[in-house]
Amino acid sequence: AQSVTQPDIHITVSEGASLELRCNYSYGATPYLFWYVQSPGQGLQLLLKYFSGDTLVQGIKGFEAEFKRSQSSFNLRKPSVHWSDAAEYFCAVGGTLGSGTYKYIFGTGTRLKVLA
Amino acid sequence: GAVVSQHPSWVICKSGTSVKIECRSLDFQATTMFWYRQFPKQSLMLMATSNEGSKATYEQGVEKDKFLINHASLTLSTLTVTSAHPEDSSFYICSARRWGTSETQYFGPGTRLLVL
């Protein structure tokens, strides 16, 4: 069955430190992969996406992610975290997912806390 | 581009009443719109997928008669929570998939529903 796993429920980093949020997926074909960020009480904002091609993708706000097929991973990284990055981060897989209709499967999310 | 709005952002209603939530794609035509429900500190759960001019496809366990979805145009979908009860209180988020192109979903800001 298709699934998305975000192993870290909470992550705390100091401002200026580097960040890596993990995402592993299970999907029968090459998936469409996404990272979204959600601030409290808000909708989701797209950070970046991977469809094909270069496995290192650049997104907004200085984020990047690397698709590793061999590890079924799509980890999100940022070299230097800002206090405004504190939020909930969701990884998602998109596709027909065996149902015939296009949809996403979301991971459970990782809540990022940034220490001043 | 790719802005999605939701109205209202907050709604409080009495038990037994119906509530309608609108989702609009403001600057693009949406092939498909999606409705999600999110409980506090949890991930998004897909409720249904709607295509313009056709019946919505509901996920397993979602009551079709309780959560009525209408997708009247390529820019508007509505979710009506009928005979709302306190357990329907939640954060409802819609998303839209751009016509003819991207596999990306663009999310609205969400609607918080409180049923008293």
Beta strands in A1-116 (DSSP E): 3-5, 10-14, 19-21, 24-26, 32-38, 44-50, 56-58, 64-68, 73-78, 87-95, 103-106, 110-115
* Cα–Cα nearest to A94, from A46, A61, A40: A46
Q: What is the pLDDT of residues A93-110, one digit of tens each?
A: 988 766 677 889 999 999
What is the share, in percent, of chain B residues with pLDDT greater than 90? 72
> Do the Cβ atoms of A34 and B95 come within 8 Å?
no
Residue A96, C-beta contacts closer than 8 angstroms, at least 6 positions apart? A102, A103
Residue A7, C-beta contacts closer than 8 angstroms, at least 6 positions apart? A22, A24
Question: CA–CA distance from A42 to each of B18, B26, B77, B100, B112 (Å)?
Answer: 23, 18, 19, 27, 10
Shortest distance, CA A52 to any CA of chain B (angstroms): 12
Put simply, whether A31 touches B (Cβ < 8 Å) is no
- pLDDT band for position A1 (50/70/90)? confident
Put simply, whether A27 touches B (Cβ < 8 Å) is no
For residue B43, the chain A residues in CB contact (below 8 A) are 90, 106-109
